């Protein structure tokens, strides 16, 4: 179960690196506008906010990678919990798809990490 927990945690980290790239570098492109269902005008107006959001996603990914590399369960739990909370908030305030794209994978990874933690 620990291997599955780490694989899903890595998947969540890679997803957040992908979000960083999309939000920081592709927001105003045709690809970014298609993925996020944006008009060119809105993409231009919100580009700075999207870049900030992308940076936060990068910090979340870095935290998960830190947890994986250091084999620290507490870090994985903390950063996965942050992602679950952010995903729920985003799902309730921005788009329900965030619940499935961001919150659900993190919640499953969190459950697996929690269940596979070793008692010391």
How many structural domains comprise the chain? Answer: 1
User: What pLDDT does residue 120 have?
Assistant: 43
C-beta separation of 68 from 26 below 8 A: no
Position 119 scores a pLDDT of 57
User: Could you report the per-residue pLDDT of 20-55, keeping only the tens digit for each?
Assistant: 999 999 999 999 999 999 999 999 999 999 999 999
Please count the other Cβ atoms lying within 10 Å of the Cβ belonging to residue 69: 9
The pLDDT of residue 8 is above 70: yes
How much is the pLDDT for 56? 97
- Cβ-based neighbour number of residue 84 at 10 Å: 22
Half-sphere CA count of 109, side-chain side, radius 13 A = 29
Q: Whole-prediction pTM value?
A: 0.93
pLDDT average, residue stretch 97-115: 97
Q: pLDDT, tens digit, for every residue of 72-99?
A: 999 999 999 999 999 999 999 999 999 9
Q: Domain of 26?
A: 2-116
């Amino acid at each position: 179960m620990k291997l599955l927990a780490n694989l899903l945690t890595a998947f969540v980290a890679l997803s957040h690196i992908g979000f960083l790239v999309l939000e920081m570098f592709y927001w105003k492109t045709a690809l970014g506008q298609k993925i996020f269902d944006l008009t060119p005008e809105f993409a231009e107006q919100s580009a700075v906010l999207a870049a900030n959001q992308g940076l936060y996603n990068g910090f979340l990914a870095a935290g998960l990678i830190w947890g994986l590399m250091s084999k620290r369960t507490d870090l994985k739990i903390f950063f996965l919990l942050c992602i679950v909370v952010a995903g729920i908030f985003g799902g309730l305030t921005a788009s329900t798809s965030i619940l499935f794209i961001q919150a659900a994978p993190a919640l499953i990874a969190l459950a697996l990490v929690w269940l596979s933690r070793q008692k010391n």
